[in-house]
């Protein structure tokens, strides 16, 4: 029994990581209907940026991530302004093709710069530290910190969305692009700011990805699949739904692995398919948000 409780707790904690991968994706899709196929690679790019700062400047990974955030915001802003804004329109294909190409360019650029070696961010003892819950149950400090960070990120994004003028502009642009322009909203700038924010979230995701697991330049797309599934399970455009989606996939994976170690990945995908069959619009579609 306790084994199962532990398994589910591990799954929930893992879900925090997936939710963080997915939050940026959900944000971008919600505001500009852009499916960013390079999102996973951008997270890996952020992980290498943190790695570079820790190795070259000898910084702690958390401090390095803090320094990387403004740089990633600027990179996201520029990427959207210079490239992705030009691809947006009625046709859904151009942004898919361009972000797919971007994914390949980032992977190859990282291969050139950092080789194909598997890397990891080092944090010392805290990596393996755990908190005893009693009754043989213990949870890792890092997984707990990941989930807490995911909740904090989503809470902050929701505050931004629902309590600020910028958030109103995000929602208005998403509702009706033409009328938003009549309100004096420069949608290209709004999109660029949104991509910048998504990249800041990606940097936080990269920090936990890099501390908890090995990464190399090619792992982006595999991580992207979980993010997509979390977004779709939660309902497109709903950030709390994305967190729920991440947790569902995380729990399915740990439960699957408990039953049979070979079933871990499969169980996550099966859970995704079941939700899509039962609730095609996801658990929390935006209309009910």
Partner 1 sequence: MLETRGLTAYYGDFQALYGIDTVIAPGETIAIIGANGAGKSSYLKAITGLLRAGPDSVRFEDRPIGALGAANILKLGIAMVPEGRRLFSSLTTEENLLIGCYGRNVPGIWSLDSVYALFPVLKARRAAPSHTLSGGEQQMAAIGRALMSNPRVLLCDEISLGLAPIMIRNIYQAMPRIKKNGTSIVLVEQDIAQAMKVADRVYCFQEGRVSLSGRPAELTREQVHLAYFGH
Check binding of 288 to partner 1 (CB under 8 A): no
Count residues near partner 1 (CB under 8 A).
Answer: 20
Question: Given the complex with partner 1, which of 116 and 182 has the nearer CB atom?
Answer: 182
Window of 94-102, 117-125, 133-141, 164-172 that interacts with partner 1 by CB under 8 A? 164-172
Which residues lie closer than 8 Å to 200 by C-beta, 6 or more apart? 69, 72, 73, 76
Which residue in 93, 182, 277, 278 binds partner 1 (CB under 8 A)? Answer: 182
269 lies in the binding site for partner 1 (CB under 8 A): no
Whole-number Å distance between alpha carbons of 34 and 286? 16
Q: Would you say 24 and 195 are in contact if contact means Cβ atoms under 8 Å apart?
A: no
The residue among 183 and 222 lying less far from partner 1, judged by its C-beta, is 183
CA-to-CA separations, 254 to 53, 176, 261, in angstroms, rounded: 33, 41, 9
Q: Which stretch binds partner 1 (CB under 8 A): 54-62, 69-77, 139-147, 172-180?
A: 172-180
Pick the piece of the chain touching partner 1 (CB under 8 A) from 42-50, 61-69, 166-174, 225-233. Answer: 166-174
165 binds partner 1 (CB under 8 A): yes
Q: Rounded to the nearest whole angstrom, what is the least distance from the CB of residue 166 to partner 1 in the complex?
A: 9
Q: Is 112 in the site for partner 1 (CB under 8 A)?
A: no
Q: Under the rule (CB under 8 A), what is the footprint of partner 1?
A: 165, 168-169, 171-172, 174-176, 178-187, 286, 289
């Amino acid at each position: 029994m306790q084994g199962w409780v532990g398994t589910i707790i591990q799954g929930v904690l893992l879900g925090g990581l997936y939710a963080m991968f997915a939050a940026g994706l959900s944000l971008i899709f919600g505001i500009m209907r852009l499916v960013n196929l390079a999102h996973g690679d951008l997270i890996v790019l952020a992980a290498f940026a943190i790695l570079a700062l820790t190795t070259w400047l000898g910084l702690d990974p958390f401090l390095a991530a803090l320094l990387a955030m403004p740089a990633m915001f600027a990179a996201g802003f520029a990427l959207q302004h210079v490239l992705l804004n030009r691809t947006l329109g009625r046709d859904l294909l151009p942004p898919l093709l361009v972000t797919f190409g971007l994914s390949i360019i980032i992977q190859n650029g990282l291969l050139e710069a950092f080789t194909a070696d598997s890397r990891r961010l080092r944090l010392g003892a805290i990596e393996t530290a755990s908190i005893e819950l009693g009754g043989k149950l213990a949870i890792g400090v890092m997984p707990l910190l990941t989930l807490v960070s995911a909740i904090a990120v989503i809470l902050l994004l929701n505050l931004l969305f629902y309590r600020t003028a910028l958030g109103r502009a995000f929602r208005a642009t998403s509702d009706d692009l033409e009328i938003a322009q009549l309100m004096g909203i420069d949608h290209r700038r709004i999109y660029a700011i949104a991509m910048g924010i998504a990249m800041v979230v990606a940097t936080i995701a990269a920090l936990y990805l890099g501390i908890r697991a090995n990464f190399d330049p090619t792992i982006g797309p595999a991580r992207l699949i979980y993010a997509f599934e979390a977004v779709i399970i939660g309902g497109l455009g709903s950030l709390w739904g994305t967190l729920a989606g991440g947790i569902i996939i995380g729990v399915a994976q740990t439960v699957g692995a408990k039953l049979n170690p070979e079933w871990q990945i499969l169980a996550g995908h099966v859970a995704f398919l079941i939700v899509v069959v039962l609730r095609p619009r996801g658990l929390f579609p935006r209309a009910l948000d």
